[in-house]
């Protein structure tokens, strides 16, 4: 498979993953909003804003493979 095809597939996979992740994180955050105190909400949204990148490391490695 050539690099252009891998990049196109990887880009589509990345966009799909981000859409699903954003919906799940926002849904979970909205569900927890009435339960958690303000400081815990800040920690949740900060963690949700950072954690999304870690599962993508294998995808980026596959895209950049020669």
**Residues 29-54 pLDDT 10s:** 889 888 989 999 899 989 999 999 99
With beta carbons less than 8 A apart as the criterion, state whether 44 and 29 touch.
Answer: yes
Q: How far apart are CA 14 and CA 31, in angstroms?
A: 25
pTM greater than 0.85 (yes/no): no
**Residues 2-12 pLDDT 10s:** 889 999 999 99
pLDDT at 10: 94
């Amino acid at each position: 498979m050539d690099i252009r095809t891998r990049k196109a597939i990887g880009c589509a996979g990345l966009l799909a993953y981000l859409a699903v992740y954003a919906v799940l994180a926002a849904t979970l955050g909205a569900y927890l909003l009435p339960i958690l105190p303000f400081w815990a909400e800040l920690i949740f949204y900060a963690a949700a804003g950072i954690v999304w990148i870690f599962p993508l490391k294998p995808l980026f490695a596959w895209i950049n493979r020669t």
